[in-house]
Structure 1
């Protein structure tokens, strides 16, 4: 692919620092930034700003690597800062660890012309030139790399346009989807959170002309998030306020609900906080929500049903990804697939008479903020609900009692279930028997989905870190099998060689 370019005018050193902060949010492992310019043009200023932003440390010591040739920084994203002014032969580049540094993280290269042809062809060229008292910067890169930079510059323009020109931006988190989040520190006022969620590109059609995301009702833009947040806030729940928005661009500036989680200092479930989360969920399950939510822009979001098609498609992740992985690449037979899907058809039929409510879909520790200074349900901050649907209320109870990211030991899980059921009985009409049946079915459904998802993230998306959750996921599946309604699925898994783990470890 041929490189494309963009040109920026930087009037002051502060503008150069802002560009460094923006580039810090755009770069990722494998990026090589070649910084060109005369002495005093601002190469070191730009590199220093980028490094301090990645480190989230405005006072990070950034010595010049002129004499050492390279300075390595072990940060959130490893960065190697090269100054090649004294390089005598491009072959020395390998001797000072350039390839290893590029494999591990980002390389910043000053005086890249000294490297001859040794730098990667897909590098990002940053040319800085003097221009009427300021600087002119031209950034050239292949399209996918330049698009990342353009996206972060568009967010900077969004902030400038809403009165936050002097705001500082820092990486917060990226998740398994296309979304990313930043902290925004205005010159005055409270810290905010920015959601960077460009419209989800459709994948290849896999059934009835639809991609996977549409079949399972994943949000394709930010309108569902805005709609659900508005609906939750109107009913007294602690969802973030939408402070500024460009929904078409997929940029939201949100209230910062805080950083406390429902885990303790050791990263394990804090029982009182999990109880608070279950109490919030019990209130939510006793609250009516509109199916069609109107926004001031005129957009109407229809909350989709957690229907048979979505449930079955999610469970197919187990047979499409987990089973071949377990069998060293051997896929399921046609007979195995037919029997598996028939079992799920029967299980989904048994959900016809269970309670249906708003399902937030991922109500577990990464998406719950603990707000100890608040009271009641306001103690529980809700985020990441853009994929909400109307479905069995039991699903979100499964999500928290069988937390996908941290082990909820059996004793605590049983206590949480007991307390949730007591809260629901106290609210009035509540069919505990059908709820427990739904809980077991949705527990198995979620576990089958996740057992396949972890493998898909490993093999297709090259994200191996999620595989550490596999033993816990299979242990949760074994707990679901305790209900007699799951006997056919349990027998199928045993025949297929999928044996649930005896523990979470």
Structure 2
């Protein structure tokens, strides 16, 4: 029940008033973060040259259009809510059984982002039935949320996250000499394609269809292999 318990703790976290001073994790911040991996690292590695200004403008417009419908829902987001940052505290009950680590990147944004981090994990496969059970537990504890809108928000925020993180593995390889992270690339690209199939992700899907052929939607070989 790890994922269901984590979803329960997340529902409590999201329902709490956020502390003052947290940075925004909004469309503008997510666009900057995505450009810093996808355009600055993945694109040159895949195409052999940096993207032009029209590509940067196109990505910004696509992400902005995709995320804009969900700008109204705001609260604390952990931003890296996955099992490696969670501890099961056996002596506790209920939501307090899940200890949460590493709040240093927390911000103010849409709660769907953290659900995506949990059930669409970039580093490990999550079975569909586990994903459904965790989502059901979360929504049951937050009855004020519209299920359809929340699922659309998960698709949009998931598409942004998966594109950014898939490209992050390239940066870790090329800049930091850590090629072992590339093993997570196929999972991230597969999760991205699943998100892109949803109507909420149409702006990003159209951008990628126009500029990134499907056969290139993968991570280039490790730097040592490419040399």
Q: Tell me which interval the TM-score lies in, with the shorter structure as reference length.
A: 0.7 to 0.9
Q: Which has the larger radius of gyration?
A: 1
Q: Of residues 181, 186, 189 in structure 2, which corresponds to 1:474?
A: 189
Q: How does 1:4-403 map to 2 (within 5 A)?
A: 272-291=1-20, 302-316=21-35, 317-327=37-47, 329-353=48-72, 355-403=73-121
8 Å contact kept, 2:28–2:64:
no
Q: Of residues 208, 213, 216 in structure 2, which corresponds to 1:497?
A: 213
Residue of structure 2 in register with 1:451 after alignment: 166
Aligned residues: 215
8 Å contact kept, 1:323–1:498:
no
The alpha carbon displacement at 1:326 in A equals 2.5
Cα separation, 2, equivalents of 1:336 and 1:390: 28
Cα separation, 1, equivalents of 2:194 and 2:133: 15
The alpha carbon displacement at 1:461 in A equals 1.1
Cα separation, 1, equivalents of 2:157 and 2:59: 16
User: Could you list the runs of 5+ residues in structure 1 that have no partner in the other structure?
Assistant: 1-271, 292-301
Cα separation, 2, equivalents of 1:330 and 1:411: 42
The alpha carbon displacement at 1:498 in A equals 4.7
Change in 2 beyond 3 A, CA 1:275/1:375: same
Cα separation, 2, equivalents of 1:348 and 1:408: 25
Cα separation, 2, equivalents of 1:288 and 1:337: 35
> SS in structure 2 opposite 1:377?
helix
The structure showing larger relative contact order (alpha-carbon pairs under 8 Å, at least 6 residues apart) is 2
> SS in structure 1 opposite 2:176?
coil
User: Could you list the runs of 5+ residues in structure 2 that have no partner in the other structure?
Assistant: 219-227
> SS in structure 2 opposite 1:408?
coil
Change in 2 beyond 3 A, CA 1:414/1:459: same
TM-score by length of 1: 0.41
Residue of structure 1 in register with 2:150 after alignment: 435
8 Å contact kept, 1:401–1:408:
yes
TM-score by length of 2: 0.86
Q: Could you say which structure has the higher helix fraction?
A: 2
Cα separation, 1, equivalents of 2:86 and 2:200: 31
8 Å contact kept, 1:364–1:404:
no
Cα separation, 1, equivalents of 2:27 and 2:132: 29
Residue of structure 1 in register with 2:225 after alignment: none
